[in-house]
């Protein structure tokens, strides 16, 4: 049949504001569950979807300008500084609602009763204990900013072999699998194996962007960790391509090697058992 009924889409209610905030954080790579969206949704009655997006954007800009991870305080400050149109154009919004009251069906229900019940439940809950201060790379990883987390991780360390990085980032993404990295100029020179596809993609992208650098290291470094690749160890690179797969032990640093990265500047993902 015909769809001839008029619907009135009002400003988002509490639950819709929670959802909208979560969407805009997720689109920008931040994990919504790391923020108290409930508190923001409670204090943004009358805000439009575009204004909620502006809160997220302004909070990110403020945090970035200060070299910090996006924090709850940044979102709260952005909210305080934004005056919604429902206040500056209050009379027009009221008139529009009055006009729609007898002419349209509401597209969404008023969830004030549900909101009141949830508020009572939250007030009855116990306060969580304060968490210990975390390293910034951990905060970045927890918030889904893995590229920045790897860079910050290396900023705090002289270098990091593959297995150490795999272990430390294990809580934030799947790090083990059937993929590895090799030199793009010579795929027989294997750098590491036993990685997941997401980790291999993350590291190869950061290497190609010159945000992190590979350095040749000794097999003893890996032996001390009880790790290695079951291939003959290549002691040094030359212009000749290797006739069969070999392992070149390497580690990550934030600064490039002396004399430049050379063939370490580009890597390729491979599939090789660890």
pLDDT digits (tens, 9 = 90+) for 150-187: 999 998 888 999 999 999 999 999 999 999 999 999 99
Mean pLDDT of the chain: 84
Mean pLDDT of all residues in 209-225? 93
Instruction: Indicate the pTM of the whole model.
Output: 0.63
- In the prediction, which pLDDT does 127 show? 46
User: d(Cα 32, Cα 142) in Å, to the nearest integer?
Assistant: 11
Q: Are 55 and 39 in contact (CB under 8 A)?
A: no
- In the prediction, which pLDDT does 35 show? 93
Helix (H) or strand (E) run with residue 11 in it: none
The pLDDT > 70 percentage for the chain reads: 81
Assess whether pLDDT exceeds 50 at residue 117. no
């Amino acid at each position: 049949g015909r769809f001839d009924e008029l619907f009135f889409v009002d400003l988002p209610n509490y639950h819709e504001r929670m959802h909208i905030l979560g969407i805009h954080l997720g689109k920008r790579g931040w994990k919504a569950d790391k923020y108290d969206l409930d508190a923001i949704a409670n204090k943004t009655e009358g805000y439009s979807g575009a204004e909620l997006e502006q809160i997220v954007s302004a909070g990110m800009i403020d945090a970035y300008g200060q070299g910090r991870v996006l924090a709850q305080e940044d979102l709260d400050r952005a909210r305080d500084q934004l005056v919604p149109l429902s206040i500056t154009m209050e009379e027009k919004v009221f008139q529009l609602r009055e006009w729609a009251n007898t002419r349209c069906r509401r597209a969404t229900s008023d969830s004030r009763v549900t909101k009141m019940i949830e508020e009572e439940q939250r007030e009855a809950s116990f306060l969580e204990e304060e968490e210990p201060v975390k390293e910034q790379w951990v905060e970045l990883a927890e918030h889904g900013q893995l590229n920045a987390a790897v860079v910050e991780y290396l900023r705090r360390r002289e270098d990091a072999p593959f297995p150490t990085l795999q272990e430390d980032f294990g809580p934030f993404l799947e790090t083990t699998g059937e993929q590895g990295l090799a030199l793009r100029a010579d795929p027989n020179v294997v750098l590491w194996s036993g990685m997941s596809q997401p980790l291999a993609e993350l590291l190869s992208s950061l290497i190609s962007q010159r945000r992190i650098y590979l350095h040749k290291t000794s097999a003893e470094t890996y032996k001390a960790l009880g790790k290695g690749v079951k291939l003959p160890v290549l002691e040094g690179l030359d212009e000749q391509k290797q006739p069969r797969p070999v392992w070149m032990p390497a580690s990550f640093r934030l600064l490039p090697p002396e004399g430049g990265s050379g063939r370490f500047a580009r890597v390729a993902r491979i599939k090789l058992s660890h």
